[in-house]
Structure 1
Amino acid sequence: MMDDNKPGTREQVHQRPPLRSWSFRVVDSYNVDPDMRRVVLTADDIAAFAYKPGQAIIMMVPLPEGGTGRRDYTIRNLDRAAGTISVDFYLHGDTPAPAWARQAKTGDTIEVKGPRGGTVLHSDADWHLLTGDETCIPAIAHILEGMPQGTRAFAFIETNDKRGEIALQTKADAVVRWIHRNGAPAGPSELMNGVIQDFLLPSGKGHAYIIGETSNVRRQRHTLIARGLSRDQISAEGYWRPGRVGGHDHVND
């Protein structure tokens, strides 16, 4: 038995190593559609930045009351030739991160930590299932873009209505379906879980990437396990939940 009062305790053994800190500068910022703003960033040591599509960074965004707050945002793109990364911000209300993105101008700096996250492409899978809401579009789009030609993929993306849809680029053999709430509020619901229940699972070994509002992610994960997927065939992460400010939930229960 381990002595919890001595070095090498269970908590210490499983403690994650600290994330690297970066000082990023704004290169450009613009709207990619009415509800999404892209901020392009660079750093003096950008050549050392290594990540996998689907991973996120922690951005220390300014708060209205002063100081900064941690906000997780998926990396939308890395341009090695230009020495930049791009981050897309879903403009949902006047919260600190979208507010910062709206006002970001060339030369502004921001502290960043990361990258982090395990929702990345499992290239050994025979097929891939991706689900998420508006906050997940950057991650889903980037993962699809990185898929090799001929990869079999199915993406279900929830938006309020057709105006939330965007063009997605991929070499994969991908089926993309947009799921509309039609005025219902974003958040906990059975909408996407119903889609997952009706989805005809292809033959072979698949991998599911389930992201979005935490309770919806958990519900879909349970449905997929009940339908025969093993836990290691599912990458599940809650990007947000009502009343929670900042952070992600690693859904493994």
Structure 2
Amino acid sequence: MAAQRAYTTHPLVLRRVTVRRVHDVTPRMRRVVLGGDQLAPFTRDGIEHPAFAAPGFDDHIKVILASDGDVHAALPAQLPHGIEWTPAENRLTRDYTPRRVDAGAGEFDLDFVVHGDGPASAWAASARAGDELWFVGPKSSLRLPERLDWIRLVGDETALPAIGRFLDERPLDAPAHILVTVPDDSARQELALRDGDTLTWVSAEPGDAAALEAAVRALPLLAGEGYVWAAAESRALLPVRRYLRRERKLAKERLNITGYWHREEHGAAEPRAAGTSGDEGKAVADVPGRVPSPLPWLVTRAAVQLGVIDAVADTPGVTLKALASHVGVPAAGVGALLPLLTAHGVVVGDETGLRLGPAGEELLDDHEREEYAGQEAELLLSLARFAPALRNGTSSWQEASHTTLRDAVAQDADRYGELVEECEQLLFLLSGLTADPLWEGVGTCLLTGPGSVSVAAALDDAGRRPRLRVAEGDVPAAVLRECVQAPERIDWTAGPADVAVAAKALAYRTDREAAHLLTELAGWAATAIVVEASRPDGLSRHAAEAALQAYAATGGPLRDSAAIAALAERTGWYVDRVIALGWGTEATVLRRA
């Protein structure tokens, strides 16, 4: 049976609040108390919204600012059950943890590190009573394991709001062991400690990875079942993650490490007092007006595939000769990779002793590694055949591999597992679908596609209890069975149903394969719902790459409602309506013609 989900989702609502009070917690931290009617249930443009809820100690809201001061032009569109991030060149977003939430008073606190030079620090430095602030979220709250012998909270000063809230509210009854790095004693705060708690302050500059790692390594080992939560500058956390995962062997479900801010190469980014979406920065071109070389990417991919990254991580200071012997290739071959690997910070040192550099540390994270070793990397490589694919009317994946992506995925559990993992974010968007009246009277729901796990969870969260069955091949069904909650309640054979939901099932199919699936669904249900992204995530700086990868996968662009309507017409369906879910994702409701 799958492990319990590690978070609880919340409706995404755009809210306006105003500043009520401002005071300095320390010379480096300013607290802004915000309140307003939109923290209670309210109605805007005919849409009813629930009260603001941020029950988790490390919940984060997305504050919306504008580079030109015109914040109304930067606001996203509010959907009945979600947010659509419409294009806005002036939009700036930063994520912050509510330090205190007082539903009775209709207010909450945000703490800002005011020694940064970014827009949020500037806003907080000049904030006065009556100033307005717009925000969205939180979208979810972390669920801690039910039984713990201890919890360790690690961070820099940007983590203090979350740590302070944890200690105030105590979401679990276990001793808390706190480690915080601060630039000087003036950043220290009074924290609500109990008997059995420990608190360690360490003097270190913001983003000092070596100091943070040394401080964590110096902490005493604790007996029993524990949990480590850590938040700081993203790169400074990389060696901490490596130490806890690879040396201390902490299981994934006992660890939560989040980069709260990111130091850019050209200077320090704005510190934030809460988590980050990771997409607020801007990509920096290698040389203006010049296309970057693909060689660093290809060399890094080779290092990942050969096991060089893991070997250096497991044996810091390893010699080139020993490294080559460990991965089973000639030393000259690994040596050929080293100049580019060191030039781009994947490794540091020379043939007498090698360690991971900042880029190499990042590659210890499974999500970062997928760019070089997973299906995402293979899609990128297939673009070498993009031109002939366009001429031949196929996908570049098919041109390069002589099979469609759907056929490859259907026979490979790892590939399908990657798609299921990508679809986890779908859970945050599905409340608009599960709230639709079409579910009234539905007794049986047929699921297909890697998003089936998220659909099943969303139906549970909404109190919908149709009988579930799954229409997938043996390999994908086995993957879904491992991921879904309570798999024994599901009928794992395809068959008749009141409603069929194809959740991200078309995203890796060619038009011909998509039409075949819709024809199959027409034999099982009179109503089908197609959940797909019609455009890339509007907040992501990688939107162009995502659109191109979609083309590489299927031989066509992301399918909007018109494209799905055309497929529906070919396969005996018509479009009843389209439900906007947010983040470029739509649910198209089909009825049998």
The runs of at least 4 aligned residues of structure 1 exceeding 6 Å deviation read none
Report if the CA contact (8 A) 1:146-1:170 is conserved: no
1:31 and 2:54 matched: no
**Equivalent-residue separation in structure 1 for 2:161 and 2:29 (angstroms):** 9
User: What residue is the counterpart of 1:190 in the other structure?
Assistant: 210
Selected match of 2:232 from 203, 212, 215:
212
**Equivalent-residue separation in structure 2 for 1:120 and 1:144 (angstroms):** 16
Cα deviation for residue 248 of structure 1 reads: 3.9
Identify, as 1 or 2, the structure richer in helix. 2
| Superimposed CA distance per residue, residues 91-117 of structure 1 (whole angstroms, 9 cap, x where no aligned partner) | 123321111112212222121011146
TM-score by length of 1: 0.83
Cα deviation for residue 36 of structure 1 reads: 0.8
Tell me which moved more, 40-49 or 51-60: 40-49
**Equivalent-residue separation in structure 1 for 2:244 and 2:167 (angstroms):** 21
Helix, strand or coil at the partner of 1:45? helix
Q: Note the residue ranges of structure 1 that are not aligned, 5 or more in a row.
A: 1-15
| Superimposed CA distance per residue, residues 27-57 of structure 1 (whole angstroms, 9 cap, x where no aligned partner) | 1112122111111111313231112111111
**Equivalent-residue separation in structure 2 for 1:40 and 1:116 (angstroms):** 21
Report if the CA contact (8 A) 2:180-2:202 is conserved: yes
**Equivalent-residue separation in structure 1 for 2:180 and 2:140 (angstroms):** 20
**Identity of matched residues, %:** 30
User: What residue is the counterpart of 2:138 in the other structure?
Assistant: 115
User: What residue is the counterpart of 1:222 in the other structure?
Assistant: 242
Q: Give 1 or 2 for the bigger CA radius of gyration.
A: 2
| Superimposed CA distance per residue, residues 120-154 of structure 1 (whole angstroms, 9 cap, x where no aligned partner) | 65442211011111111111111121216862111
Question: Relative CO higher for 1 or 2, CA cutoff 8 Å, sep ≥ 6?
Answer: 1
TM-score by length of 2: 0.37
Task: Give matches, 1:1-253, under 5 Å.
Answer: 19-47=12-40, 48-51=51-54, 52-63=56-67, 67-116=90-139, 121-147=144-170, 151-171=174-194, 173-181=196-204, 185-225=205-245, 226-243=247-264, 247-249=276-278, 253=366
Cα deviation for residue 62 of structure 1 reads: 3.6
**Equivalent-residue separation in structure 1 for 2:17 and 2:194 (angstroms):** 31
Amino acid at match of 2:177: F
Amino acid at match of 1:175: T
CA RMSD in angstroms comes to 2.6
| Superimposed CA distance per residue, residues 164-221 of structure 1 (whole angstroms, 9 cap, x where no aligned partner) | 211111446310100112xxx4224211211222322211111000110111222212
Amino acid at match of 1:19: L
Helix, strand or coil at the partner of 1:115? coil
Amino acid at match of 1:206: G
Amino acid at match of 2:241: R
Q: Structure 2 vs 1, CA of residues 45 and 171 (structure 1 numbering), >3 Å: closer, same or farther?
A: farther
Amino acid at match of 1:238: G
Q: Note the residue ranges of structure 2 that are not aligned, 5 or more in a row.
A: 1-8, 41-50, 71-89, 280-361, 367-593
Helix, strand or coil at the partner of 2:97? strand
Helix, strand or coil at the partner of 1:31? strand
Identify, as 1 or 2, the structure richer in strand. 1
Report if the CA contact (8 A) 1:149-1:172 is conserved: no
Report if the CA contact (8 A) 2:33-2:108 is conserved: yes
